[in-house]
């Protein structure tokens, strides 16, 4: 991982402050604004029409990964993420994240589920912007965190079943570790329901040790991606690697040490499948 991608220097070079101010002011309206002339409302129906669908997908993916200076923050060009296991998320917070670090209410859960859940860890120049949006600042708990507190918060959230993800906002500037829940998460929605690469799968996939698995099914409930299934005939769980995002959240439910993350490229058929 590259510490430069987290630095204030980089932020200045790319004029991040202005981009982020605009993006955050307009965050909740992202999905009702237009992508290349098409609004996201009814996106699924539009993607079903073969030609429009192909064009939309191409346009949206180009926009999501935009590194051009003229990108449009109101549409969140260049804003995408990747799923990562707790250990890597903690490493970023512990060693790479620029201070100050804050914990604010999850935007996606507020705008799509109507609940306030203080789980988003933001750092660097973003943590100077979000406090201006008072609706995202927790009222009943400490929200300015030191590194140790942020690492502990991530662990608690991951164990609750939230998927850790790291966000470019915009490329190549990294300033958030999210703890996501599907289907509210806007990134996971576009990926899981519309096949757009807004969130990449993690660098790992989970493997299950048949000898250790006791068939308690606890891990199945934790997986947000439907990658785990209990087979009654063998009284064990099996993994669908194509569905696994490598978040590692299932591991917290296993008392028998049966689930392990392994590098994605070490599993046949999974190399390069992000």
Partner 1 sequence: MDKTQIKIDYKKCGPNARIDPRECRKCMNVCDPAVFLMHPTLEEHKDPYNPEKWLVTPVWPCMCTGCMRCAQVCPEQAITVKAQRSLYQLRQP
* Helix residue ranges per DSSP H, the chain: 8-13, 16-25, 43-48, 50-64, 86-91, 107-113, 126-129, 147-160, 186-194, 218-222
Exposed / middle / buried, residue 234 (Cβ in 10 Å: 0-12, 13-18, 19+): exposed
Q: Is 190 in the site for ligand SF4 (CB under 6 A)?
A: no
With binding defined as CB under 6 A, does residue 217 bind ligand SF4?
yes
Q: Is residue 76 close enough to count as binding ligand SF4 by CB under 6 A? A: no
Contact 22, 70 (CB under 8 A): no
Q: Is residue 102 involved in binding ligand SF4 (CB under 6 A)?
A: no
Q: Which of 98, 126, 166, 227 binds ligand SF4 (CB under 6 A)?
A: 227
Q: Please choose, out of 55-63, 111-119, 139-147, 258-266, the segment that lies near partner 1 by the rule CB under 8 A.
A: 111-119
CA 150 to chain centre: 17
When asked if residue 269 is in the footprint of partner 1 (CB under 8 A), the reply is: no
What the block records as the tokens of 217 is: 């099914």
DSSP secondary structure letters along 36-58: TTEESTTHHHHHHSHHHHHHHHH
Alpha carbon distance 231, 58 (integer Å): 39
How many residues form the binding site for partner 1 (CB under 8 A)? Answer: 37
Interface region with ligand SF4, contact rule CB under 6 A, candidates 39-47, 92-100, 236-244, 263-271: 236-244
* Interface ranges with partner 1 (CB under 8 A): 25, 28-29, 31-33, 40-45, 47-48, 110-115, 132-135, 183-184, 189, 191-195, 225-226, 242-243, 245
Please give the residue ranges that form the binding site for ligand SF4 (CB under 6 A): 106-109, 119-120, 178-181, 184-187, 206, 208, 213-219, 222-223, 225, 227-228, 237, 239, 244-250, 253-254, 256, 258-259
């Amino acid at each position: 991982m590259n510490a430069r991608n987290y630095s204030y220097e980089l932020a200045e070079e790319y004029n991040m402050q202005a981009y982020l101010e605009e993006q955050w002011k307009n965050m909740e309206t992202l999905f009702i604004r237009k992508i290349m002339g098409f609004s996201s409302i009814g996106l699924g129906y539009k993607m079903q029409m073969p030609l429009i669908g192909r064009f939309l997908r191409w346009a949206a993916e180009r926009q999501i990964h935009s590194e051009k200076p003229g990108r449009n923050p109101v549409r969140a060009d260049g804003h995408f993420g990747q799923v990562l296991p707790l250990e890597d998320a903690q490493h970023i917070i512990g060693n790479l994240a620029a201070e100050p670090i804050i914990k604010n209410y999850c935007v996606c859960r507020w705008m799509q589920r109507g609940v306030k859940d203080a789980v988003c860890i933001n750092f660097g120049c973003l943590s100077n912007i979000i406090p201006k949006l008072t609706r995202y600042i927790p009222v009943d708990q400490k929200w300015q965190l030191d590194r140790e507190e942020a690492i502990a918060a991530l662990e608690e959230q991951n164990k609750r079943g939230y998927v850790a993800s790291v966000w470019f906002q915009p490329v190549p500037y990294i300033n958030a570790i999210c703890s996501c829940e599907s289907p509210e998460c806007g990134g996971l929605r576009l990926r899981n329901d519309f096949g757009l690469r807004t969130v990449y799968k993690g660098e790992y996939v989970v493997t299950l040790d048949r000898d250790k698995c006791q068939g308690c099914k606890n891990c199945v409930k934790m997986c947000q991606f439907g990658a785990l299934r209990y087979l009654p005939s063998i009284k064990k769980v099996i993994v669908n690697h194509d569905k696994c995002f490598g978040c590692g959240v299932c591991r917290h439910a296993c008392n028998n040490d049966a689930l392990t993350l392994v590098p994605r490229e070490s599993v046949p058929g999974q190399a390069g499948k992000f």
